Amino acid sequence: MSETRIDRRFTALKAEGRAAFVTYIMAGDPNFEASLAIVKGLPEAGADIIEIGLPFTDPMADGPAIQQAGLRSLAGGMTLKSTLRLVSEFRKTDDATPVVLMGYYNPIYAYGVESFLTDAQAAGIDGLIVVDLPSEEDEELCLPALKAGLNFIRLATPTTDDKRLPTVLANSSGFLYYVSIAGTTGAAAPKASDVALAVNRIRKTTDLPIAVGFGLRTGEQAAEIAKIADGAVVGTALVEQVALGSDDQDAVERVLDLARKISKGIHGVKKNEQD
């Protein structure tokens, strides 16, 4: 497949000697317009890659904060189609920041794989994380997505052993998402020493950039991960700010303020200074 925005972003960051700040927000939370304002503001707040959650009623990998965000989004009428429209609106003002759609297979299956890939590419989505589709089902979506020019990003976890890892990495592209804890999003904080051991083990089997997420809430935590991995993913802490907002504008400002604080931690780590 051709080089994607994700590929170009990690190449540029490697040249800069720093890790990526990967942000996650739920599409349509608290509503379409406020969600769009958050997405548009994230690059200025320091986000290098934006993951956009696709709301779903049975989000098995997500903790309470992201589950509630999904329910708020669905209650507001958000759908896969309107999620793609959100990305299209974002692309009118930003053609450089990579966007990854993260969610579950059911809505994509209901939409129709071929139609989804066509519309996702047209909207400006660069990669997919589909939590409940294992490598054994690559023909369902992974291989068609790669053929359409979209990166297919896999999750590896603390329970992904050396025997399983090659299967997880098969057909993976863009980056590998290492889930730093054995649990749902936001359930616990990762232990940096454990993450370092896992990332170093995985690096022996792939040249893909490795981003680490689940449980990162502060700039200090993210900076620790930025010393170890090629990217640090923050989701739950940002999503919680939406729920704390007194109104739409306050929710937008809260998310972007926290993103700025966390990005300072990540961007302050120079990879060539860590050794």
Question: Which residue numbers are catalytic?
Answer: 51, 62
Dist. CA 265–CA 118, nearest whole Å: 37
User: Angle of helix 32-41 relative to helix 80-91, nearest 10 degrees?
Assistant: 40
Residues 69 and 26 sit within 8 Å (Cβ to Cβ): yes
Residues 25 and 239 sit within 8 Å (Cβ to Cβ): yes
Dist. CA 16–CA 113, nearest whole Å: 37
Residues 214 and 190 sit within 8 Å (Cβ to Cβ): yes
Q: Give the residue from 176, 98, 101, 104 showing the smallest Cα distance to 140.
A: 104
Q: Give the residue from 23, 20, 57, 19 showing the smallest Cα distance to 236.
A: 23
CA distances 241 to 25, 69, 76, 78, 196, Å, are 10, 11, 18, 19, 29
Residue 144 CB neighbour total at 10 angstroms: 16
Residues 149, 173, 90, 80, CA torsion sign: positive
